[in-house]
Structure 1
Amino acid sequence: MEEVKVVVAHDECATLRVGDVFLKIDGDQSRSDVEVEAMAMAPVP
């Protein structure tokens, strides 16, 4: 199992790193929804 590292954490969200993957956990679903929409529109290199 990969080690989980806390990259940034405060009262609104946390960003974790698991191996080469970053995971953002946000307490406000609407902010997460906006970020998902933005990522869906971004071109993939």
Structure 2
Amino acid sequence: MSADATPGTEATNGSRLRCAECGSEAIVTRAGGSSLTCCGAPLEVIFAA
């Protein structure tokens, strides 16, 4: 887990994320430590690689 406690920043390469609002999904191919957002909210990690 990243030292940054912001939601969504714990995603690593291969992690799957989902938007709780619209259901869109993303797979992290190059983790950079920043939070991914959709619909104005951080994406939730649904599978951590």
TM-score normalised according to structure 1 size: 0.22
Structure with more of its chain in helix, by fraction: 1
Of the two structures, which has the highest relative contact order with CA contacts closer than 8 Å and spacing of 6 or more? 2
Structure with more of its chain in strand, by fraction: 1
TM-score normalised according to structure 2 size: 0.22
Larger radius of gyration: 1
